Amino acid sequence: MIFESDVLEVEEAQMIKDALMLCLKNEEPTVKLDLRNINKIDLSVIQLFLSLQKSLHNQNRNMTLINCTNSVIEALELCGCSKLFECTYE
Amino acid sequence: MSEELQYFNEDAQEQLQMMESALLDAMDKGVNDEYIGTIFRAMHTIKGVAGMFSFDAIISFTHIAENLMDAVRNGKIELDENLLMLLLKCKDHVSTLVDYAVESAPLPKNILDKDKLLKATINNYLQSPPEKFVPTQTLPIETISSNLWHISLHLKEYFFETGMDLISIIAFLKRLGTLHSVSTLVENLPTLEEIDPYKPYLGFEIEFEGDVKKEDIIEVFEFVEDDIELNVFSVDKIQKEEPQKEELPEQTKPVIIEVLQAKIEDIQPKQESNNKQITPISQSLRVDSSKIDILIDTISEMVIANAKVNRYVEKYADAELEEVAIELSGLLEELRNNVMNIRMVQVGESFEKFRRVVNDVAHKLNKKINFTIKGGETELDKTVIEKIADPLLHMLRNSVDHGIELPAQRVQNGKPEYGTVELRAYPESGSIVIEIEDDGKGLALDAIISKARAKGIISQTQQLSDAEAYKLIFEPGFSTAEVVSDISGRGVGMDVVKKNIEALKGEVALVSKVGKGSCFTIRLPLTLAIIDGFLFQVGQTHYIIPLDMVSEVIEYTSEYHVNIRESQLFDLRGTLLPLLDVRNYYKELPCEMCERQNIIVVKYGHHKIGLLVDELFGEYQTVIKPLGKLFKNAPGLYGASILGSGEIALIFDIPTLFEILKIK
């Protein structure tokens, strides 16, 4: 799943949650969230990613953040979440 | 501009305004700890919020200015007049930096140069402070610096609604030192199916190292303090050396226990007091003024709709309906007053800004002035305050530039060296009066009249009363200044001042005495939107006047009638007052249904007049609507209001009516 918007913030949290819910319904063993376009991400959205990860674990599935920009990596490090996600580049 | 940026901008401007007031107060009344604290807090707060937006230029400048104020606060540097002037320049510079930051505009070269110059000047102060004796003292426990800190942080339910991003706050914390680790607590996090996306569920444990005090860390989070649970602990040497404690000499143990005890006591009462302070709702709320305008418009429409309801109540004479209608009218009036009160702002805050102008102009002209503000608590509609600011500014500049003499000249004339300029506001019969009075050289009537004749504003033979002569200074192109300065005196100001005040349905007058000083008096309506009116009928037309201006109402009988040389007058208990026959004046047809005529005695300022009218209806909530172009030249009319019946009532412009009757 690739995010087209460059900003992921609390204002769009409900919309992002709805989009992430679709990932729960497909059957891919690993859900990939492509963050190549993201210049700003806030804690509410990172929290949604963690929440999705928890739901996927319950289904014995995994989640990977791919193509994280520097802004995303910095945000994840600052809130201590970088070690909670698997981040790769494709 | 985003909502957060707007908040930052407003907050920064408020802080800078407080800083400027403190600086000017310190200049006028002498330096004290309160002023120093205010100036320090302004720089510190702006730095803090700018940090969350990564406005580096602001952070870097306010950081140095804050250091300077910290040195002043600790008595290392004296806050003398030179430093006060430097800080005024710093305040202006920060204001410019904020403007550029909120516009996301790059700083031009001249601002960057100024930035460097001011920083160099401040550093000069910081590097070579004058020697001052500072007594040795024992530091209280909370001021002990420690390098290692543990910060425990939990977000409360409404955190995301604050609009603040925790990541930016942690980024700012990182600027103060090193983040060794940030651990995220996810125990309470629900699955995606269950999560409320607008609620926070996370907690954080942060290991931080920096040469800061505990309160410095707490202040990083001060803008979200109501929406987080925050605990900051020092991981000091005691804990680090714990494995070696057996090697410590016995006599140091009580000291360690004492320190730990003090720390525990320090934490506990603070936690308790923090709990007491936490209230679920903030005491003040920042609202865009356009939202209040929309609310007032809606209430205006409700007032009109309610008038229609009342009309049906009268028509159908239903007791139960009448009861409900009365209750509804009462509630609506209360709602209207409450909403109108939101718009009412104390004039003091706006007046405070003028102190800087007076100070700067006086400085530039080498004049010495005591500027005082009285009645700052007087309330006026926000729109009116905003629009009156420019005219007031111009009049104040005029008073300082043309009114107040140079110190030597004042002493020569037997006056104190310091001139006085006073700006005061007070309410008076439904209006607000603002006066600017100085004890300067005043204006000579002869000089005004000669100048007006020379400029062709009046004819050579025209005779004027004193009041009429003073009004000449508000004529376009009139200037009494012998030397045109860059402060005022180009002859293009006072006519614009008058026009601006008249646009607000206000009026301006001047009285002056040569050698004694001048006083400008501005009279303004309290509000421009909804008023309590007095409804009456003349001929076939309904009219309204502001209720506050109605002094009394009497039935017109022959005992009041006086006729001297065709002037319409009436005798009110032995006092002769002018009487305006409204029917005659507006060429109204006679009112066939009306059984009697009445006089409404109207008071404005210190004068009274009578209006001869037909039917009286009494108090009426009046929504003021502007008149169309057709009525542009109709004398004495201010606006119109829609009645419940759908008919239009015309609202009298009382100041103009007084003018028509040549009262003044």
CATH code for the domain in which residue B215 is found: 3.30.70.260
- Report DSSP letters for B203-242, one per residue: EEEEEEEEEE-HHHHHHHTGGGGGGEEEEEEE--HHHHTG
User: How many structural domains compose chain B?
Assistant: 4
Chain B residue with CA closest to A76: the answer is B167
A55/B182 CB distance under 8 A: no
B417 shares a domain with B353: yes
In this complex, which of B170, B198, B201 lies closest to A79 when CB atoms are compared? B170
CA distance A39 to chain B (A): 14
Structure tokens at B7: 């908040």
Beta bridge partners of B533: B546, B620
Q: Which has more confidence, B131 or A23?
A: A23
Q: Is there a contact between B39 and B77 (Cβ–Cβ < 8 Å)?
A: no
Note whether B471 and B549 are same-domain residues.
no
What residues of B are in contact with residue A13 (Cβ under 8 Å)?
A: 160, 197-198
Contacts of residue B166 in chain A, CB cutoff 8 Å?
43, 79
Task: Find the domain containing A64 and state its range.
Answer: 7-88
Contacts of B464 (CB under 8 A, 6+ apart): B449, B458, B472
Nearest-CA distance A90 → chain B (Å): 26
Check which CATH number belongs to the domain holding A78 and give it: 3.30.750.24
Strands annotated E in B107-201: 146-155, 178-185
**Which residue in B165, B191, B202 is closest to A54 by CB distance?**
B191
How far apart are the C-alpha atoms of B652 and B545, rounded to whole Å? 5
Interface of B with A (CB under 8 A): 160, 165-167, 170-171, 174, 179, 181-184, 186, 189-193, 195, 197-198, 200-202, 204, 206
For residue B386, give both structure tokens.
């905003």
> Which chain A residues are closer than 8 Å to B193 by Cβ?
21, 24, 55
* Binary contact (B197, A17; C-beta < 8 A): yes
On chain B, the residues whose CB falls within 8 A of the CB of A50 are: 184, 186, 189, 202
Q: What distance, in Å, lies between the first and last C-alpha atoms of chain B?
A: 49
User: How open is the CA angle B568-B570-B575, to the nearest 5 degrees?
Assistant: 130
**The predicted structure's pLDDT at residue B566:** 58
- Which residues, in sequence order, are bridge partners of residue B545? B534
* Distance between CA atoms of residues B278 and B437, nearest Å: 47
Note down the domain range covering B636: 530-660
Burial of B208 (0-12, 13-18, 19+ CB in 10 A): buried
Residues B535 and B521 in one domain: no
DSSP B308-345: HHHHHHHHHT-HHHHHHHHHHHHHHHHHHHHHHHHHEE
Which long-range contacts link B212-219 to residues 24+ away (Cβ below 8 Å)?
Answer: B212/B145, B212/B149, B212/B176, B212/B177, B213/B142, B213/B143, B213/B144, B213/B145, B214/B142, B214/B146, B214/B149, B215/B142, B216/B176, B217/B149, B217/B151, B217/B173, B217/B176, B219/B44, B219/B48
Residues B514 and B405 placed together within one structural domain of the fold: yes
Asked if residue B454 and residue B362 are part of one domain, the reply reads yes
Give the domain CATH number at B509: 3.30.565.10
Tell me which DSSP letter residue B129 carries.
P
Decide if A33 is inside a domain: yes
Whole-number pLDDT of residue B409: 92
ipTM of predicted assembly, 2 dp? 0.94
Query: Does B416 share its domain with B447?
Result: yes
Q: Would the pTM of this model clear 0.90, i.e. be above it?
A: no
Q: Is B42 helix (H, G, I), strand (E, B) or coil?
A: helix
Cβ-Cβ pairs closer than 8 A, A with B, add up to 83
Integer Cα distance of B621 and B546 in angstroms? 10
What pLDDT score does B292 carry? 81
Closest CA to B332 of B616, B644, B652, B625: B644
Look at residue B498 in the predicted model and tell me its pLDDT: 86
pLDDT for the residue B382: 81
Q: What is the pLDDT of residue B93?
A: 92
d(CA B8, CA B54) in angstroms, rounded, equals 12
- Specify if B337 maps to a domain: no
Q: How far apart are the first and last CA of chain A?
A: 13
Write the residue in A16, A55, A84 that is nearest to B184 by C-beta: A84
Q: Which amino acid is at B426?
A: Y
Nearest Cα residue in chain B from A9: B165
Sign of the four-CA dihedral B158, B161, B167, B171:
negative
In this complex, do B193 and A21 lie within 8 Å of one another by their Cβ atoms? yes
A58 to chain B: closest CA residue = B191
Contact A48 B197 (CB under 8 A): yes
Could you give the angle at the alpha carbon of A46 between the alpha carbons of A49 and B156, nearest 5°?
A: 115
Residue A1, domain member (yes or no): no
Q: Confirm or reject contact between A73 and chain B (CB < 8 A).
A: no
Q: What angle do CA B299, B303, B308 make, to 5 degrees?
A: 145
- Rg of the Cα trace of chain A? 12
Same structural domain, B509 and B534: no
Closest CA of chain A from B15, distance in Å = 28
Is the residue at A2 inside a domain? no
A22 in B contact zone (CB under 8 Å)? no
**Nearest-Cα residue of chain B relative to residue A54:** B191
Task: Give how many domains chain A has, as a whole number.
Answer: 1
Quick one: B434 and B493 in the same domain? yes
Same domain assignment for residues B419 and B536 = no
Residue B247 inside a domain? The answer is no
Distance between CA atoms of residues B514 and B542, nearest Å: 47
- Do residues B62 and B183 both lie within one domain? no
Q: Which residues contact B357 (CB under 8 A, 6 or more apart)?
A: B393, B396, B397
> Is B192 in contact with A17 (Cβ distance < 8 A)?
yes
CATH of the domain at B590: 2.40.50.180
- Please give the Cα distance from B494 to B478 (Å, whole number): 8
Q: Pick out chain B residues at pLDDT < 50.
A: 129-145, 237-282, 482-492, 664
CA nearest B181 in A: which residue?
Answer: A80
> What's the CA gap between B198 and B329, in Å, rounded?
40
